[in-house]
Structures are given as C-alpha cells and as structure tokens.
Amino acid sequence: MGGARVGKTEACRVQASVSIVTASNPLPSFAAAPAKSMSATNRPALPRVTTQAVNLFESVAAFVGDGCALVDDVEYRRRLTVCHACDRRTGRRCTECGCWIGVKARGRAFECPLGRWK
C-alpha cells in the first residue's frame, strides 16, 4: 500500500513539538526566568491537579480545533513579556491555570486565563 498516513492529531503534535522550541527559535531568556523572589510560603500555589487537567484538555482541544496554528514570533514574545510581568507567574508556570507559559504562549488558540492576551 501507499505511504503511512499520519492523523491530524499526530501531525499537530509533531508540528507543535518542532515549532515551539528549536535551536533556531529558542525560548527567550525571560521565559525561562527563575521564580520571582518570593518565599515558598508567599508564592501562589498552582491549581489543583484536576483543575490543571481540565485546563489542559480544553486548551489542547482548542489548539487542535484551530488546526494547530501557532502565533508568529512577534506575538509570541509579546505574550511572554505580558506573562513575565504578571504577579501570577512563578518560574515558568502560571499559577492561575497551571500552564507552562512558554508552551501556552505559542498556540494561536490559547488564551491567558486573566484575559491579558488572546
């Protein structure tokens, strides 16, 4: 038979994993910045694991429904700049939704849970 068929979900996964971070397109240094200088007791906690799982499922469904489209580098860096200044960021994670900021900022269908970018 002909060549192997790749389903839409598999193609999106491969595209996203290749496009998000590559040697020629590394995460900006501020995306990987350490947590702001807060003690562990003052740092906002991440949402419950079940909440994070629901958020992840909804985000992935929106991403696949949007054809796994990514934002351009200018928009990506703008989103990261907004997140970098946010008081809900701890290290590379958002404490509002629990996402990995560098990944969520890349997908066109993803939105900030606080409405700061779409």
26-60, pLDDT tens digit by residue?
555 544 455 454 455 566 799 999 999 999 999 99
Return all residues near 76 (Cβ < 8 A) that are at least 6 apart.
Answer: 70, 105, 106
> Which range of residues forms the domain containing residue 67?
26-104
Examine residue 31 and state whether it is found in any structural domain, yes or no.
yes
Examine residue 64 and state whether it is found in any structural domain, yes or no.
yes
Examine residue 82 and state whether it is found in any structural domain, yes or no.
yes
Residue ranges in 5-69 assigned as alpha helix (H): 8-20, 49-65
Examine residue 17 and state whether it is found in any structural domain, yes or no.
no
Examine residue 12 and state whether it is found in any structural domain, yes or no.
no
DSSP letters, 55-79, are HHHHHHHHHHHTTS-B--HHHHHHH
pTM of the model: 0.66
Positions in the chain short of pLDDT 50: 1-4, 6, 11, 13-23, 30-32, 35, 37-38
The number of domains in the chain is 1
Amino acid of residue 44: P
For residue 83, give the H/E element and its range: helix 73-85
